Structure 1
């Protein structure tokens, strides 16, 4: 909780005109409004326990947007962060860049499959095929199995997939069983787009995403049965609207290159030069238990009391 409180405080101090909506899993720990004493325009939306495998991440994002509409919050742009994210530049620079932009959304949106439904997209075909060509009706767990069980179940999975294409046994992020999709919802007229879940949407794009969700329950149900729908649902909905102008530019610095499973590496003082060179406005992930000095320095930079890089970082 202290890391979340720290993040919210630096955001509100750097951009007093902004509003913070926190989608919080109350089952993990209690987060009360009193934790943000002295800060205005901070709202908490309690949600159920989420999982990467199902629709809970997009659902919590949409619930926050619905809550904003319900209480009459009018915004120009919305960006989603986690508690492990942190601003790395003054937010006035971020706001200025958005005001000067001529697009409706900044979202990584690359086509997942080619016109024949094969490879050539954002992920290797086998990975994308397993995620999005199947509907996972049976989710046996919500967490990935222990490493030893992953190996055993992985061998069973490979053997099963070699002899037939209709049933999919997935062990990537949890234990789930899916059937080959025959609905035709995804295809030439509604192709699948995907990318990073971190996005910056204008009010126009965010409103359209909410309206589409409310008016297309069959599409939402279809995506909810995919594996990791958070990395394709908003991307697909927005990219298939010809009236919206999208940019694939990312506002985040995330290092996944040095992790064998593609998970974000924890950033420290040693990463400041790469973060600065990226031009990003935000970065993840940070862990003050491993390196709190980097957050102390970023606080000074974001709040305008530091400039450039520390001398030891510049010289390294």
Structure 2
């Protein structure tokens, strides 16, 4: 067993709603990990947060970014939070990216032992997005790979025609094949597109690489900044999975239940507790204290 202090851990919180649940998560992290560095990007345009009552170990990203669900603003907020964390004098060995709807489901010692005893620089879900996959027949649960190709690897052009004597009409042309999109996209055989869950954890080496990469304002950053939706589910995957000096584990260490279908995961209830405990994940989402707070009470007893 590794000593609990052998690796330090910090937390980046992306929050925008339910202040009481945010305070509860912060208090839980402080109890479990003995007041770690916590950097919070809170979108004050969505709801207020009483800053005066936050513990001293919580740093707020200022000025905050007005975030949009699935937008590049989420990427910007995340990078700014990582930067703030690694500028601090007690920057941790590892950071975990969480939302306000996340909660730990394993004891601190187990989480830290997992991170300390493995050779990885990041735990992140990443799948390569290819034209071959896009054109193949996939099982329904893997259709997101097709959606990812459409989002990140195609190029559309819209032509507007308008004459006084004729009705207005638009013509949209969408290029799909890599030979046709090559001139317009930053991807190549050497730098390929990856996609996966937005939530991940990484060490200092990976964090510093993300910061440097993002601040260089390269073609990848420019490309994703122009994508209207879900750039947060491909940007970090593409950066890290193409970095040959980093060792990744294709596992986000997050329990998320998509069985309800739709664009949001299932709200976790007491009935889900056995599945949470059987999981190898460190954290789970989504919880909602207004729908079921008892499951959080149970997790408090189990993880303390």
**Shared fold by TM > 0.5?**
yes
The equivalent residue for 2:34 is: 16
**Ranges in structure 2 where 5+ consecutive residues have no aligned partner:** 1-18, 159-169
Structure 1 position 298 matched with structure 2 position 299: yes
2:96 and 2:233 mapped to 1: Cα distance? Answer: 15
How far is the alpha carbon of 1:199 from its aligned partner?
0.6
Structure 1 residues 120 and 187: alpha-carbon distance in aligned structure 2, compared to 1, 3 A threshold: farther
The equivalent residue for 2:50 is: 32
Structure 1 residues 16 and 22: alpha-carbon distance in aligned structure 2, compared to 1, 3 A threshold: same
The equivalent residue for 1:57 is: 74
**Contact (CA 8 Å) 1:107, 1:250: kept in 2 or not?**
yes
Across the aligned residues of Structure 1 and Structure 2, the Cα RMSD in angstroms comes to 2.6
The equivalent residue for 1:189 is: 190
Structure 1 residues 82 and 233: alpha-carbon distance in aligned structure 2, compared to 1, 3 A threshold: same
Tell me which of 243, 246, 249 is aligned to 1:247: 249
Residues 54-133 of structure 1 correspond to what in structure 2 (within 5 A)? Answer: 54-114=71-131, 118=135, 123-124=143-144, 126-133=146-153
Structure 1 residues 276 and 61: alpha-carbon distance in aligned structure 2, compared to 1, 3 A threshold: same
The equivalent residue for 2:164 is: none
How far is the alpha carbon of 1:40 from its aligned partner?
3.7
TM-score of the superposition, structure 1-length normalised?
0.77
How far is the alpha carbon of 1:56 from its aligned partner?
1.0
The equivalent residue for 1:238 is: 240
Structure 1 residues 276 and 114: alpha-carbon distance in aligned structure 2, compared to 1, 3 A threshold: same
How far is the alpha carbon of 1:115 from its aligned partner?
6.7
1:280 and 1:33 mapped to 2: Cα distance? Answer: 31
3-state SS of the aligned residue for 1:97?
Answer: helix
Deviations 1:16-73 (A, max 9, x none): 152111111011222233222xx34111114222123421111111001111233334
1:9 and 1:128 mapped to 2: Cα distance? Answer: 36
| Count of residues in correspondence between the two structures | 266
